C-alpha cells in the first residue's frame, strides 16, 4: 500500500454498522409511538419467516480498559447483577406484550461491558427468562463476548446449556507494554485456557479480537500476537483498527498521549503484515477487518452472499428486526432505529413507568433505505449495483463523480450499473461507502465525529 494513498484517504469516517449513522439521526421525526408501530409492523412481516435477533448489553466491568469505546460502568460490586437482569427481563416483557405471537429467536448476542462479569447462574437465568415467552428458530446462533481473565468453565457450560455455541475473546495484543498502556493485562496462558475450555465444552466457533494501532505497539508486537494466535487457531479473527476518539469517550481514552500511537504509515504496515500472516495461516478476508477459516459459518455466509452487518458487527444471517435490551442498546426494525437510555438509574426508572426505555431514534426515509442497501452490499460483498430501478436514487451521478478518483487509484472498478471493490481497495471500503452517504455529504460536521479510516 503506497504512502500517498494512505495520506490521501486517511480521513475521519463512519464504520457503517448502520445507515444513517447515529450523528445524523433525525430526532424531530422520531417518537416513542412511531417506534412501537415500526417494531410491530416488522415483527408481523418477518417473525415466522426469518425470526428476530436480540442484542443484550451487559455494561459492567471491574476495571477500565483505556482503548475501549463501549458504554460501560466500572464496579467491583456484584450485587448489581440481580436488579439489572430483572430490568432486562422487564424490558423484554414490554416488547413481547406488543406481539400477537411468540417470537422466534434466530440470534442472541451478549455484549458489554463484560458479560462474564455476571455469574454463570445469572446468565443462565437471563436466557431462560427470555425463552419463557419465545422459541428458537431451527438455525439459531447464540454468541457472547468473553473476557479471557474471568471466563470460567462454569460460564461456558452454563451458556452452552442454553444454546450458545459461539464466543469472542478480546485479545487486543500480547505485548506487556501495550497491555499496561491500555490497562488490559491478560497473559497468553489465560487466552489459551479460555479457548481450550470453550472447545472442550462444545463451542463450535471461537473468535479472537486483535487490534492494531494501539499505543506503543510495534510491528514485532503484531507479529508476535498473530504467531501466538496461530497456535490456538480460532475460527474467526477480527483484526481491526483502534478507534481513537477521546473527544467522544472522554478520559477513558486519555491514558496515553497521541504521540504514543503509531503514525498512519506505521499503522498501515501493522495491518498489511497482519493481513498477510493471516492469509498464510488459511484465513479468508470477510468484509472489513474480519477473517475466518473456510469451515466457519461466517465464511459460508459470505460465499452465499447472506452475510449481514449491524450494530453487532458482521453476522452470518439477517433478520429485519433486532431488539436491543439494556442500557445504551440500539434496536433496528429495518425501517427505524432506537437507542435505549444510557444511564442505568434512569433506565430502571423508565421501566418502572411501564415504558420501553428508548430515548432517541430515527425513522428511515425511502432514500435512506436505498442508500442503506448499497452500503450494506459494499461492506458485506465489496460490490453493489443499481441495475434494478429500485436501487436507484437521484444523486447517483454525483456519487460516481466522487468515485472516479478512487477508480483512477485502482480502488474499485466501475461499469454501467455496478461497482466492484478491488483487492487494493478493500482497506478503503469505508471511504467508498462515504461517497454514498448522502447525509454525510449534506451535513459536513463542524467538529470531528468519527475515527480515522486508516
Ligand-binding annotation for 114, yes or no, is: yes
Buried b / exposed e over 287-306, threshold 16 CB at 10 Å, is bbbbbbbeebbbbebbeeee
User: C-alpha cell of 95?
Assistant: 416488547
Contacts of residue 36, Cβ cutoff 8 Å, sequence gap at least 6? 98, 356
Ligand-binding annotation for 172, yes or no, is: yes
What are φ and ψ of residue 167, in 5° steps? -140, 140
DSSP string across 70-132 = S--EE---GGGHHHHHHHHHHHHHHHHTT-SS--EEEEEEEEES-GGGS-HHHHHHHHHHHGG
Ligand-binding annotation for 286, yes or no, is: no
Ligand-binding annotation for 319, yes or no, is: no
How many helices (H) and strands (E) the chain has is answered by 16, 19
User: How far lies 260's CA from each of 213, 216, 257, 333, 436, in Å?
Assistant: 10, 6, 5, 41, 34
Which residues face 143 on adjacent strands? Answer: 109, 166
Ligand-binding annotation for 55, yes or no, is: yes
Ligand-binding annotation for 184, yes or no, is: yes
Within a 13 Å sphere around the CA of 240, how many CA atoms are in the beta-carbon half? Answer: 24
CB neighbourhood size of 178 (10 A) = 22
Ligand-binding annotation for 137, yes or no, is: no
How far is the C-alpha of 95 from the C-alpha of 112, rounded, in Å? 21
Question: Which helix (H) or strand (E) covers residue 291, if one does?
Answer: strand 290-292
Ligand-binding annotation for 313, yes or no, is: no
Ligand-binding annotation for 113, yes or no, is: yes
Which residues face 314 on adjacent strands? Answer: 309
Ligand-binding annotation for 112, yes or no, is: yes
Ligand-binding annotation for 69, yes or no, is: yes
Terminal Cα distance for the chain, rounded: 11
Binding-site annotation: residue ranges for [4Fe-4S] cluster? 61, 65, 68
Binding-site annotation: residue ranges for S-adenosyl-L-methionine? 55, 67-69, 112-114, 145, 172, 184, 209, 243, 330
Binding-site annotation: residue ranges? 55, 61, 65, 67-69, 112-114, 145, 172, 184, 209, 243, 330
Amino acid at each position: 500500500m503506497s504512502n500517498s494513498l494512505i495520506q490521501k484517504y486517511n480521513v475521519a469516517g463512519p464504520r457503517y454498522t448502520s445507515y444513517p449513522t447515529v450523528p445524523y439521526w433525525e430526532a424531530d421525526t422520531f417518537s416513542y409511538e412511531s417506534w412501537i408501530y415500526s417494531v410491530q409492523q416488522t415483527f408481523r412481516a418477518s417473525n415466522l419467516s426469518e425470526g428476530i435477533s436480540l442484542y443484550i448489553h451487559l455494561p459492567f466491568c471491574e476495571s477500565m480498559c483505556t482503548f475501549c469505546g463501549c458504554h460501560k460502568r466500572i464496579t467491583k460490586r456484584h450485587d448489581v447483577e440481580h436488579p439489572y437482569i430483572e430490568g432486562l427481563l422487564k424490558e423484554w416483557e414490554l416488547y413481547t406484550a406488543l406481539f400477537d405471537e411468540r417470537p422466534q429467536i434466530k440470534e442472541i448476542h451478549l455484549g458489554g461491558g463484560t458479560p462474564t462479569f455476571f455469574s454463570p447462574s445469572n446468565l443462565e437465568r437471563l436466557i431462560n427468562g427470555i425463552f419463557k415467552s419465545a422459541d428458537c428458530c431451527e438455525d439459531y446462533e447464540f454468541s457472547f463476548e468473553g473476557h479471557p481473565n474471568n471466563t470460567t468453565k462454569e460460564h461456558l457450560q452454563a451458556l452452552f446449556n442454553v444454546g450458545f455455541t459461539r464466543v469472542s475473546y478480546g485479545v487486543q495484543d500480547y505485548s506487556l507494554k501495550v497491555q499496561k498502556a491500555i490497562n488490559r493485562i491478560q497473559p497468553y496462558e489465560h487466552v489459551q485456557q479460555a479457548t481450550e475450555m470453550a472447545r472442550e465444552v462444545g463451542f463450535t466457533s471461537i473468535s479472537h479480537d486483535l487490534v492494531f494501532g494501539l499505543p506503543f505497539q510495534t510491528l514485532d508486537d503484531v507479529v508476535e500476537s498473530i504467531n501466538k494466535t496461530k497456535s490456538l487457531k480460532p475460527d474467526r479473527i477480527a483484526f481491526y483498527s483502534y478507534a481513537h476518539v477521546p473527544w467522544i469517550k472522554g478520559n477513558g481514552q486519555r491514558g496515553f498521549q497521541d504521540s504514543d500511537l503509531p503514525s498512519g504509515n506505521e499503522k498501515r504496515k501493522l495491518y498489511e503484515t497482519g493481513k498477510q500472516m493471516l492469509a498464510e495461516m488459511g484465513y479468508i478476508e470477510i468484509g472489513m477487518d474480519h477473517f475466518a477459516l473456510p469451515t466457519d459459518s461466517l465464511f459460508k455466509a459470505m460465499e452465499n452472499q447472506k452475510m449481514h452487518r449491524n450494530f453487532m458487527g458482521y453476522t452470518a444471517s439477517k433478520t429485519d428486526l433486532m431488539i436491543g435490551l439494556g442500557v445504551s442498546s440500539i434496536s433496528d426494525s429495518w425501517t427505524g432505529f432506537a437507542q435505549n437510555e444510557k444511564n442505568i438509574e434512569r433506565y430502571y426508572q423508565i421501566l418502572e413507568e411501564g415504558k420501553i426505555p428508548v430515548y432517541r431514534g430515527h425513522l428511515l426515509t425511502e432514500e435512506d433505505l436505498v442508500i442503506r442497501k448499497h452500503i450494506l452490499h459494499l461492506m458485506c460483498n465489496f460490490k453493489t449495483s443499481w441495475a434494478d430501478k429500485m436501487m436507484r436514487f437521484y444523486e447517483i451521478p454525483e456519487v460516481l463523480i466522487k468515485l472516479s478518483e478512487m477508480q483512477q487509484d485502482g480502488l474499485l472498478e466501475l461499469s454501467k450499473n455496478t461497482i466492484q471493490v478491488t483487492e487494493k481497495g478493500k482497506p478503503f471500503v469505508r471511504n467508498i461507502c462515504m461517497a454514498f452517504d448522502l447525509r454525510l455529504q449534506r451535513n459536513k460536521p463542524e467538529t470531528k465525529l468519527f475515527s480515522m479510516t486508516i
